[in-house]
Structure 1
Amino acid sequence: MQTAADPVGSHRVLAPAGALPQTAERLDTRADLWPDEVRVRVERLNLDAASYRQLAEKHHGDGAAVRAEVLAIVRERGKMHNPVTGSGGMLIGTVEEVGPASPLGLRVGDRVATLVSLTLTPLVIEDGLQSWDGGSEQVPADGYAILFGRSIAAPLPADLPAELGLAVMDVCGAPALTRRVVDGYAQPVVAVIGGAGKSGALSLAAARRAGAARTIGVVPHEAEAALLRDAGLADEVVVADARDPLALHDAVRAAGGPADVTVVCVDVPGCEPGAILATAARGTVVFFSMATSFSAAALGAEGLAADVQMLIGNGYVPGHADYALELVRGNAGVRGLFERRL
């Protein structure tokens, strides 16, 4: 047994030995803190989109069954770590205790959003999720979570409703990484697959602000297209099934592609070949979805002889939360789309 806390949280791993918290099967969820830890009283969880979709489809939309499975996962694993998708989400809450050696700069009473995944966050649910009907990604909850010395948390913005702030911070890594990639090109064409979703809308706004010459939003059906057109976030909005490589390729090219930068923000598997085909030679594909198969992406690009750079969006870029909130505050289209989805 460890006698000192590890900033990355390995002291909380119960099984298997030697694992880090994210890959662990079970975490220690005791409320007593190690010196560099912080305990947060949970107010609301935001389940990762791929995880929620998998649970909802598995249980055919039965909210009670979805709720029961989430509770079972948290109880058995000591964290919200979907064993099928490998993803979790994040949470908001109020700091209730701070260890004397915590480097996070948090104080008791701070309302914060955790910017690290629930897949590595020790979590206890104490109310049985009685206020959640299982019908949405946002989960009202009462319980507590533990942050490590190397965790990340940000104060909730006072000028935005908590539900909106949570939704923005859940995907704040996507626009920051999109901006960084677009900055590396001179007036690129940028295609965002899943452009009417939360991360997609922010990525389109970031691409335009970063100097994209043309933005293309790809959505799966006309209802999503109407949402995106109303938001005014893309120069072109096209309807295509991202799982159909040739259809996606043709749709992006007809809209002004191929794309120099393609950002994948959908929560369904099977979009890797189409995203690669839609991207120009020497272009970049950013996979910002937990439904992505990275082996399919690598082998698919090889099989297509596609000279593209492929990046995994890991959810963290310095300053990502502030940047995403700035986009929401300053872009009525982004904010309106988020509010309609909430």
Structure 2
Amino acid sequence: MTEAGSPSQTPGQTSPFGLHRVVEPAGVLPQQAWRLDADPVPGRDEVVIDVERLNLDAASYRQLRETYGTGPELRKAVLDIVAERGKMQNPVTGSGGMLLGTVREVGPESPLGLKPGDRVATLVSLTLTPLRIDDQLSDWDGQGEQVPCKGTAVLFGRSIAAVLPDDVPDLLALSVFDVCGAPALTSRVVDRRKDASVLVLGGGGKSGSLSLAAARRAGAKRLVALVPFEAEAEVVRASGLADEVVVADARDPIAVLNAVGETVDVTVVCVDVPGCEHGAVLATKDGGTVIFFSMATSFSAAALGAEGLAADVEMLVGNGYVPGHAAFALELWRAEPGVRTVFEARERQTSGS
């Protein structure tokens, strides 16, 4: 293993934050690093995983697909990123995704509670996960964000992963885990506002549907789902997850405001396209809260836009982690038929059936 990273690291020492895996530049955390050491030999508190599938985050996959199409150039783009950086971090969106695999080896001081043979989904971003790809992504057709893959990945002492449940298909569990931070934080925010009105931009997606269900459980009195197309609106209406389903381009602030009508207490942004910050702010009451879960968000645009609109709104960055988030999201999927309706529709769309 390359002995790089923080100047405070001593030879042979591992850091629970992964500092010893940073090749360049020295002194930064793995997510900020340009390149990581992906050697699949575990340190004393590390876990090595045999990777079976990557799940690219929605914003990253959209950007790559729009740039390279869905053929060999797309596969090459992902392979080049991982080969150059030792991790999957889209240089345009800055985002990555997560992965599914089987635990190969566990260091003797790992605190994660995993053992060889466990099938797991990582709950930390690919942007900070040392990763090697060994099969040239030969089984990926480029048609979806889930990428069959053979390779290895490394988890640190402060990483998190979930053992895959027996009652949920692996690929479905991966989809739920990929967005599990959104419903957990939505629930926390809505629970603090009695009888809140809630708008979910991107309510027809995975994170959006789970966030709608979480908001309902937390006591929301009015739930509005905004989607870009009527076909998507029909699916969300059939799911029963929202009181109102409106169709508008989330990138058009005035269209969003007009579609929503009365402004809301909480807006949850779950879209995978850039340029939706100002619509979210306009649709939120003074004193309200906007939660940004999209990796396509420009946080400078959000902050300066709110200032320019004289909007007194609290803005939260959904960081993807809330204690218990994976179990909470799975329980929502199991218990809420409407969530399953949306997930199944998304799966049909991806598969082309």
- TM-score, structure 2 length as denominator? 0.95
Counterpart of 1:309 in structure 2 is 314
Give a deviation string over 1:240-286, Cα, whole Å, max 9, x none.
Answer: 11111111011111xxx311000000011110011000001100000
SS in 2 for 1:202: helix
Q: Deviations over 1:47-71 (max 9, x none)?
A: 0100000000012x23221111001
Q: Which residue of 31, 43, 54 maps to 2:52?
A: 43
Unaligned 5+ runs, structure 1:
none
Partner of 1:334: 339
1: CA distance, partners of 2:234 / 2:82: 38
Match of 2:146 in 1: 138
Rounded to whole Å, the distance in 2 between the matches of 1:178 and 1:251 is 22
Partner in structure 1 of residue 242 of structure 2:
234
SS of residue in 1 equivalent to 2:194: coil
| Aligned pair partner of 2:84 in 72, 76, 79 | 76
Q: Does residue 66 of structure 2 align to residue 57 of structure 1?
A: yes
Q: Deviation at 1:177?
A: 0.2
Give yes or no for the alignment of 1:190 onto 2:198: yes
Which residue of the partner structure matches residue 87 of structure 1? 95
1:336 Cα deviation from its structure 2 partner: 2.2
2 CA distance for matches of 1:62 and 1:141? 16
- Say which SS state the counterpart of residue 130 (structure 1) adopts: coil
Unaligned runs of 5+ in 2: 4-8, 348-353
Instruction: In structure 1, give the amino acid aligned to 2:263.
Output: P
- Tell me the equivalent position of 1:291: 296
Which of 147, 159, 163 in structure 1 is aligned with 2:167? 159
CA deviations on 1:154-178 (whole Å, 9 max, x unpaired) are 1111101111000000000000000
Whether the 8 Å CA contact 1:56–1:63 is kept in 2: the answer is no
User: How far is 1:182 from its partner?
Assistant: 0.0
The one-character-per-residue Cα deviations of 1:19-49 (angstroms, maximum 9, x if unpaired) are 1100111000111111000001111110010
Alignment-derived partner of residue 7 in structure 1: 16
Conservation of the 8 A alpha-carbon contact between 2:235 and 2:341: no
Give the whole-Å Cα distance in 1 for the aligned partners of 2:239 and 2:209. 9
SS in 2 for 1:204: helix
The TM-score, its normalising length taken from structure 1, stands at 0.98
The amino acid that maps onto 1:335 is R
Tell me the CA shift for residue 229 of structure 1.
Answer: 1.0
Q: Partner letter of residue 209 of structure 1?
A: R
Paired AA for residue 141 in structure 1: C
Runs of 4+ in 1 over 2 A off after TM superposition: none
